[in-house]
Structure 1
Amino acid sequence: MTATSTAESPAAPARRRSLLHPDPMVRRLARITFVNTFGNGLLMTLSALFFTRVLGFAAGQVGLGLTAAGLCGVLASIPAGRAADRWGAKPVLIALITLEGLGTLGYVLVHSFPLFVLLACFTTAADRGSAAVRNAMYAEVLPADGRVAGRAYLRVVTNVGLGGGTVLASFALQVDTRGAYVLAILADVVSFAVVALMWARVGTPRRATAGGRAGAAAGASSAEPAEKQGNPALRNLPFLVVTALNAVMALQFAVVEIGVPLWIAKETAAPRVMVAGSLVVNMVLVVALQVRATKGTERPGAAGRIFARGGLFVAVACVVEALAHGLPAWVAAVLVSAGVGFQALGEVYTQAAGWALSYDLAGEGAHGAYQGVFNAGMSASLMVGPALVTTVVIGHGLLGWSLLAAVFAAAGLAMSPAVKWAHRRDGLKAA
């Protein structure tokens, strides 16, 4: 046994500490996030093959079922957020996580297509509802000035967890038997149970609102009970515009996950290994840059400008990707890599700014309602994104990429005016 195996160098603990967030609550949330996303990575990686090869459904049937499930996810976000405001984010979140775990367990038992569709709708509704409530939960357990930085750290953990789940799922894919798939799905079910128990142990202290803004945007100062006022987010037109602009920008996820791989494979001479390489590069850059990208987002006006910067980066990425068509393999590979880099920069900026605005423009007493609406916009974008990107971009080449670039640039540049409008509505000043 060598000396290095019995005693660590002084630098080793320091390196570990540098990777850990200084806030104990964020560290606890990071552990929950890792378990949750590790399980998600398992199911995400093997679900398509399980549904087709094991359950025996046609690819078209699976696509139809998942599209219907996506619509259910959009519809579930708003009532889930309102439930969090009325009954508390933690009990609603634990209930939704439990329901999602039960729905996931049902996949190993279902055999008919109608039941598969119903189960997919049930599970996706619980998933998207829990995402909205989880974001509201962050508002309860994190200080106002630390929410965005905390979420950025958790997004890094999310990428690590998904990557770990994907690696483990690859073994099930290699074995390619019903037993291997079922075992991986059951591991995901166990992760839901563990996550629910972990959330049950999280305290929810009441924190002072920042800058005296409690309830300003949500109209929480009204003497009328919140549950009788209806959804304040749906009556806040500037917030709905901000939500829509963020949803437009979320189409970039379909670009990097579907548009770029199809473009590489069908329309460029770049090596096919770039299909997987582009996703790896995106993940690595997001992990490296997401926390840094939150700097300045604590000021709403600055968050709007950071969102615009991110939108322009995504627009440039689209143009660069388009230029890879018809060029020699090594040039195409360079341009594809550059485009992925620009997109990752745009992604971390727009995500950080979007989180900041979703909290800042909501009243402290109605984060569930506001996060429900904001998450519904994201869910809608994730639902329509794949079809939109494949028809607009892959079907029309340079013209499609240019149109998409213009949409991203316009959405980014429109955010600052929308933020100013929201603050004029509330009688507040955007810094």
Structure 2
Amino acid sequence: MSTAPPASSPLSPPAPPRPRLDGEKPRLAADPVVRSLGVLIFVNATGNGLFLAVSTIWFTRGLGYSTGRVGLALTLAGLCGVLAAYPAGRAADRYGARRVLAVLHVFQAAAMAGFAFAGTYPAFILLACAVTAGSRANAAVRSTLYAHSLPAATRTPALGLLRAVNNAGIGAGAALGAGVTAFGHHGAYQAAILANALTFLLALLPLRAVPTAPPITEKPVTDRPGGSRHPGDFGPTTRRPGALRDRPYLAVTALNAIVNMLYVVLEVALPLWLVGHTSAPAPLVGVLLVLNTVLVVALQVRASRGVSELPAAAQAFRLGGLLTALACVTAAAAAHRAPAVATVILLTAVLLLTLGEVTSQAGSWTLGYALAPDHAQGAYQGVFQTGISVTQALGPVVVTALVLPHGTAGWLALGAVFGAAALALPPTARRAARHRPAC
């Protein structure tokens, strides 16, 4: 594990003392690093929640673009996002995660602010691509920052806490967005877009307090007997295959990406299924999303406990994937039911989906970090995030073209895919652990 830079570094403050692990459960919420990261995430997530609540209405009514043109722009933007994570992770390895993240926040603020004044469709497409690429790059670099600033023994529980904070921020932002949409004034929508842009800049303040490792430019060889080193251990002749050629890690990344499509199920498949194929009331769509948000806030920390080692992480991921598969089977049963019955079934499906989400995510975090070499966490996190970006870009097409048109059979097939990925993960992770590159 890379450590924080020494106190003399001009880029990073001294690393705070780590929580004790000998017999006393660390109080993660009291850790200065976790607090700083929590403030950063809450500020940014509040802006994101605000944007999610107003963006569709602003794009269609404020800027005047049809839903088809907005959909095309967002599809192209999703493809741009696929290409952004890996180079951003490599940059974090080379220049330092905190420095790269600060640059990304400024870039994202500028791109987001442009949405308030996107007067032409080509400009709108370019801005959508910039915002999405920035978001995916941000995810890779932030993951690298976590690797450098949070100790491995408490990283997964800390990420559980931070994810709960993230969902709370999105909920707060969405509530603000509901007020904007109720007011409905053109200027209010513009102000909301600009407020989201401002949150990227405000998040730079807590980022300054987060320690990070210095850039790593050389990879030591530590696989000699006793871990000994000598000057010849450094240099191009000692390099291991990079993240893009680490096939066991790529296999884990692919399985993780498949299970991460559960977010597409929640945000796209279930709402369309509810409205078009069940008799449940349409307002239930909002209730299902709120239920998911509340449950993640309530359950993610608990689900992340005891998942800091690879065997436990693989088991958690498998359980989460199987719960997600069961949620698909449950959702399929909502068709051709009375409204009250369909409502209960869909609420149950979201409960199962959320349990699968918090459990699989806890396992995913440990897998993504523990199977990567410490000297190249940025590149490996970039690969891991690229897999997620692919499912986010292609997932909506998959569920709308291959799942929903086939009704119950489509849902059962999707559940089978989730289940197969969940069951394949533990042996794949064991193989990746055996072939993990030297640190």
1:115 aligns to 2:123 (yes or no): yes
Residue matched to 2:157: 149
**Correspondence 1:187 to 2:216:** no
Give the CA deviation at 1:230. Answer: 8.9
CA, structure 1 residues 51+235, in 2 after alignment: closer, same or farther (shift >3 Å)? same
Which one of 234, 239, 244 corresponds to residue 223 of structure 1? Answer: 234
| 1:201 alignment partner AA | A
Q: How far apart in 1 are the matches of 2:308 and 2:327? A: 26
- Corresponding residue of 2:267: 257
Call closer, same or farther: CA 1:280–1:415 in 2, change over 3 Å. same
User: Which residue identity does 2:403 align to in structure 1?
Assistant: V
Q: Shift of residue 229 of structure 1?
A: 5.4
Paired with 1:179 and 1:215, the residues of 2 have a C-alpha distance of 59
CA deviations over 1:323-360 (Å, ceiling 9, x no partner):
11112222222211111111111111111101110000
With the length of structure 1 as denominator, give the TM-score of the two structures. Answer: 0.88
Residue in structure 2 matched with residue 390 of structure 1 by the alignment = 400
Q: Provide the rounded CA distance (Å) in 2 between the counterparts of 1:156 and 1:236.
A: 32
Structure 2 equivalent of residue 74 of structure 1: 82
Aligned to 1:312: 322
Q: Corresponding residue for 1:162?
A: 170
Q: How far has the Cα of 1:150 moved from its partner?
A: 0.9
Kept after mapping to 1: 8 A contact 2:33/2:211: no
Q: Give secondary structure in 2 for the equivalent of 1:290.
A: helix
Q: Which of 131, 140, 161 is matched with 1:132 structurally?
A: 140
Preserved CA contact (<8 Å) 2:164 2:296: yes
Residue pair 1:310, 1:412 contacting (<8 A) in 2 also:
yes
Shift in Å, 1:126: 1.5
Match of 2:47 in 1: 39
User: What TM-score does the superposition give when structure 2 sets the normalisation length?
Assistant: 0.87
Do structure 1's residue 247 and structure 2's residue 257 form an aligned pair? yes
The alpha-carbon deviation at position 109 of structure 1 amounts to 2.5
Q: Which residue of 2 aligns with 1:12?
A: none
CA distance in 1, matches of 2:222, 2:245: 14
Aligned partner letter, 1:393: V
Letter in 2 for 1:403: A
Q: Which moved more, 1:109-118 or 1:98-107?
A: 109-118
C-alpha displacement of 1:75: 0.1
Q: State whether structure 2 residue 102 is matched by structure 1 residue 94.
A: yes
Match of 1:22 in 2: 30
Structure 1 counterpart of 2:351, from 337, 341, 349: 341
Asked whether 1:268 is paired with 2:278, we answer: yes
Aligned sequence identity (%): 44
Equivalent position SS for 1:297: coil
Encode CA deviations 1:57-103: one digit per residue, 9 max, x unaligned.
Answer: 11111111111111111101000000000011011000011100011
Contact in 1 for aligned 2:221/2:234 (Cα 8 Å): no
Cα distance in 2 between the residues matched to 1:78 and 1:399: 36
Alpha-carbon distance between aligned partners in 2 of 1:225 and 1:102, rounded to the nearest angstrom: 39
Q: Which residue of 1 aligns with 2:8?
A: none
Matches within 5 A, 1:329-408: 329-408=339-418
> What is the one-letter code of the residue matched to 2:151?
P
Structure 2 CA distance for partners of 1:247 and 1:238, relative to 1, 3 Å: same
Q: Deviation per CA, 1:274-310: give whole Å up to 9, x if none.
A: 2222112211221111111123321212211211111
Q: How many residues align?
A: 400
Q: Which amino acid aligns with 1:224?
A: G
The offset of 1:231, in angstroms, is: 7.3
Which is worse superposed, 296-305 or 133-142? 296-305
After TM superposition, give the deviation of residue 273 of structure 1 in Å: 3.1
**Per-residue CA shift, 1:128-169, capped at 9, x if unaligned?**
101100010011111111111111111101111001111111
Displacement of 1:20 in angstroms is 7.4
- How far the C-alpha of 1:118 sits from its partner, in A, is 1.2
For residues 270 and 48 of structure 1, the distance between their equivalents in structure 2, rounded to whole angstroms, comes to: 24
Q: What displacement does 1:270 show?
A: 2.2
Contact 2:371 2:436 in 1 (8 A): no
The one-letter code sitting in structure 1 at the alignment partner of 2:117 is L
Q: CA RMSD in A?
A: 2.3
Q: Which moved more, 1:59-68 or 1:407-416?
A: 59-68
